[in-house]
Amino acid sequence: MTGMKGSEMTTVEAVPAEVDVAIVGAGMAGTTLATALGKAGRKVALIDPHRIHHDEFRAEKIGTDQIRLFEKLGLDKTIMHLVTPFDDIHVFRLGQLFARERRPEYAFSYGALINGLRDALPPQVPLTVGKVVEVSTGPDRQRLVLSDGSVIIARLLVVATGYGEAVRRAIGVERIEQSKAHSLSMGFDLAVSQLDCGFRAVTCYGRRASDRVAYISIFPLGDKMRANMFVYRTVADQWTRDFRADSQKMLCELMPEISAQCGNFALASPVEVRQVNLTTTQGHRRDGVVFIGDAFCTTCPTPGVGIGRVMIDVDQLHSVHIPRWLETPGMAADKIGTFYDDPVKVASDEAGMRVSVYAKRITTETGLEWRARRLRNNMARRLVIIGRKVRHLGLRREPGIA
Ligand SMILES: Cc1cc2nc3c(=O)[nH]c(=O)nc-3n(C[C@H](O)[C@H](O)[C@H](O)COP(=O)(O)OP(=O)(O)OC[C@H]3O[C@@H](n4cnc5c(N)ncnc54)[C@H](O)[C@@H]3O)c2cc1C
């Protein structure tokens, strides 16, 4: 460690902490990986600049597939205390009730979920609060220097810094934008109470391609009704400015089919807005370091595949790759490449990117091919709606017939 004493320079050597795995970034990917590795007896350092994860607008619900991944890591009980479970989702398409889905979903506030996961870290894996100011990586040992001068030496460095760029840049790894300003996610609380809301949960899709609305999802979160809306706009669009200025009016116009049951879309919080880019990574095949979660690639929140992708990275690393890598000496790029080439990981990332692109094109594209696809999908949906109405009518007539 280098420090100043008067005009004289003094050098104090900090004793480095030696670990199997150093994880930079204690978000969803970093914290769950640290827990799994710690429970498996690995020596782990987990580093983040903040003890408490601030309450930012990110993923706010997951389904049973993702819960199964938490279960595999032994974290399902931890997260069950932090989520609001619900089912019976009314799905509206083409302005009408299309289906009632009984599958369970789980709502949460991202910051509270991450803080709950951090609180449940095994005692042998404390969270080191600090900023990484120096990184050097190599085929045998990785060296991190934190802003307080402490040094961590690890066999493997895991970068799980999400959207954070500092560590990626320090290592010289580039983010590639596949689709800039791909979509806009908006989150807000509704004023309607859970008792007064006509639905336990509702998903309502946009009606016209020109609206550029994927869908709104309204669900219980704690004692509030929360809304997530996904649109294909940019922050700078006039539409977005108008929405911020009078969200209630625009929501009532866009989705009149559900407005009365949602308290006419009176809002109880400001609208949080996040622009999302689709990104991948270049130059990541290096000695000693692996990139995971959003630090490796980002997909669109509309199809809700982000958390699943992150958890697949964590599961494959903890259950397959890291145990193998630590068995033999060295941590060269070819060893680490087995993770990037892992068919489970590759399939998960590719599917995430594919559905992100498809969801936008099927909602907004105006070319002949996409109009034809929309027409075909909407015809099939109309048939489902008619079938449901006919069945409903039949059921209502039944007592009379008997
Ligand atoms: C608005 C929005 C809505 C979303 N909705 C959904 C959804 O409905 N369903 C879904 O599945 N996914 C959704 N996602 C995606 C999902 O939230 C992410 O894929 C996931 O949270 C990424 O987790 P992560 O661990 O990679 O990153 P994060 O959880 O962001 O963790 C990154 C961590 O790194 C730390 N860090 C940053 N820089 C440094 C540094 N220099 N040194 C040390 N630490 C650092 C940060 O403090 C943070 O703790 C959404 C994303 C957004 C933006």
pLDDT tens sequence across 291-302: 999 999 999 999
Condensed to tens digits (0 to 9), the pLDDT of residues 159-204 reads 999 999 999 999 999 999 999 999 999 999 999 999 999 999 999 9
User: How many domains, the chain?
Assistant: 1
- Does 274 sit in the ligand 1 pocket, CB within 6 Å? yes
Residue 106: CATH number of its domain: 3.50.50.60
The reported pLDDT for the residue numbered 398 is: 62
Assess whether pLDDT exceeds 90 at residue 10. Answer: no
Give nearest CA residue, ligand 1 atom 15.
Answer: 306
- 338: three-class secondary structure by DSSP: helix
Condensed to tens digits (0 to 9), the pLDDT of residues 346-384 reads 999 999 999 999 999 999 999 999 999 999 999 999 999
- Does 182 sit in the ligand 1 pocket, CB within 6 Å? no
Tokens of 253: 């116009």
Name the residue range of residue 329's domain: 2-178+276-360
Give nearest CA residue, ligand 1 atom 38.
Answer: 164
318 found inside a domain: yes
In this prediction, residue 391 has a pLDDT band, given cuts at 50, 70 and 90, of: confident
231 found inside a domain: no
235 found inside a domain: no
267 found inside a domain: no
Residue 27 Cα to ligand 1 midpoint, Å, equals: 6
The reported pLDDT for the residue numbered 5 is: 35
The reported pLDDT for the residue numbered 9 is: 36
- Does 294 sit in the ligand 1 pocket, CB within 6 Å? yes
129 found inside a domain: yes
379 found inside a domain: no
Q: Which residues have a Cβ under 8 Å from the Cβ of 95 and sit 6 or more positions away?
A: 207, 256, 257
Assess whether pLDDT exceeds 70 at residue 1. Answer: no
344 found inside a domain: yes
Task: Tell me the residue ranges of DSSP E strands in 232-298.
Answer: 272-282, 289-291
Distance set, CA 68 to CA 48, 58, 62, 286, 350 (Å): 27, 20, 11, 31, 21
In this prediction, residue 394 has a pLDDT band, given cuts at 50, 70 and 90, of: confident
As a whole number, the mean pLDDT across the chain is 93
83 found inside a domain: yes
Q: What is the pTM of this model?
A: 0.93
Condensed to tens digits (0 to 9), the pLDDT of residues 194-232 reads 999 999 999 999 999 999 999 999 999 999 999 999 999
